[in-house]
């Protein structure tokens, strides 16, 4: 691959939660970035701040302290300086989220679970206008995941691996540039998890997608182009034992 600048970069990221009067510092000056098309894994023990980091990168939460408005850049643009509308668009169109526990809507069918992401993007009226196109794209994504025969099923009728594939299709419905995956195989057995990672690898190539995936599992992290270890709220120095002994 030719050398390109980062699509997303975070510099000196701080985040502290307040629990009553107690402050819990989670990120303490963390810097990470991913180049276009790169698959980066962030490896850290449970409670090390992996989900917190993804929420910040995805614009779901804001960093605190220091240069918080310019701590995160997407394609060179600081998230903290985006208007509310721009940030909404960023979350809806540039970023896709995948979670450990799928977060599918149990009462919706598989196809609808995927298209609902497009409804968020277009608004209801816009969605109805684009429905035919959106349904076709959702069907294509689900087909690519081998779920073409499951469109009318409900999540409760699917295996864990199938549910996660539906969740990935939902994350991709708006053709995001960046996929943020939070322990995407954490709830699956090794073999099913491997198959999900194979799917991610293939998609990434096909869609030129940048993937930032967090995990506590060294084997999962090893599938990425690059592994960043998170310890004590910062990137652990090379060669220092990090999270390989982490428990889930």
Contacts with ligand ADP, residue ranges (CB under 6 A): 17, 19, 24, 26, 44, 46-52
Whether 224 and 213 have beta carbons less than 8 Å apart is answered as yes
From ligand ADP, Mg ion, none, interface partner of 49 (C-beta below 5 to 8 A by class): ligand ADP
From Mg ion, ligand ADP, none, interface partner of 146 (C-beta below 5 to 8 A by class): none
From Mg ion, ligand ADP, none, interface partner of 46 (C-beta below 5 to 8 A by class): ligand ADP
For residues 26 and 34, which CB has a smaller minimum distance to ligand ADP in the complex?
26
Strand order in the sheet with 22-35: 22-35, 6-19, 72-74, 77-78
Question: Any contact of residue 135 with Mg ion (CB under 5 A)?
Answer: no
Phi, psi of 72 (to 5 degrees): -125, 130
Whether 17 and 26 have beta carbons less than 8 Å apart is answered as yes
Strand-pair category, 22-35 with 6-19: antiparallel
What letter would DSSP give residue 66?
Answer: S
Question: Any contact of residue 187 with Mg ion (CB under 5 A)?
Answer: no
The set of residues, in sequence order, having a beta carbon less than 8 Å from that of 60 and lying 6+ positions away, is: 91
For residues 48 and 94, which CB has a smaller minimum distance to ligand ADP in the complex?
48
Q: Rule CB under 5 A: which of 29-68 touch Mg ion?
A: 50-51
Q: What's the closest the beta carbon of residue 90 comes to ligand ADP, in angstroms?
A: 21
Q: What's the closest the beta carbon of residue 223 comes to ligand ADP, in angstroms?
A: 19
Q: What's the closest the beta carbon of residue 118 comes to Mg ion, in angstroms?
A: 27
For residues 4 and 46, which CB has a smaller minimum distance to ligand ADP in the complex?
46
d(CA 85, CA 79): 12
Only one residue has tokens 């989670």, namely 26
Give the footprint of Mg ion on this chain (CB under 5 A).
50-51
């Amino acid at each position: 691959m030719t050398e390109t600048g980062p699509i997303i970069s975070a510099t000196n990221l701080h985040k502290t939660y307040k629990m009553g009067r107690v402050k819990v510092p989670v990120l303490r000056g963390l810097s990470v970035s991913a180049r276009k098309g790169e698959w980066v894994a962030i490896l850290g023990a449970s409670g090390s701040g992996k989900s917190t980091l993804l929420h910040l990168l995805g614009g779901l939460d804001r960093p605190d302290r220091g240069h918080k408005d310019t701590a995160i850049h997407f394609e060179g643009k600081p998230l903290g300086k985006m208007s509310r509308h721009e940030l909404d668009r960023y979350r809806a169109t540039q970023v896709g989220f995948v979670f450990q526990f799928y977060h599918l809507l149990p009462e919706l069918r598989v196809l609808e679970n995927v298209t609902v992401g497009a409804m968020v993007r277009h608004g209801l009226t816009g969605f109805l206008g684009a429905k035919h196109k959106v349904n076709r794209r959702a069907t294509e994504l689900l087909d690519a995941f081998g779920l073409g025969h499951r469109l009318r099923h409900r999540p409760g009728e699917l295996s864990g691996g199938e549910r996660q594939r539906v969740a990935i299709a939902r994350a991709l419905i708006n053709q995001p540039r960046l996929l943020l995956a939070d322990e995407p195989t954490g709830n699956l057995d090794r073999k099913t998890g491997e198959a999900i990672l194979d799917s991610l690898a293939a998609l990434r190539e096909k869609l030129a997608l940048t993937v930032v995936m967090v995990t506590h599992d060294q084997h999962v992290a090893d599938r990425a182009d690059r592994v960043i270890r998170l310890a004590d709220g910062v990137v652990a120095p090379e060669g220092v034992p990090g999270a390989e002994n982490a428990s889930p």
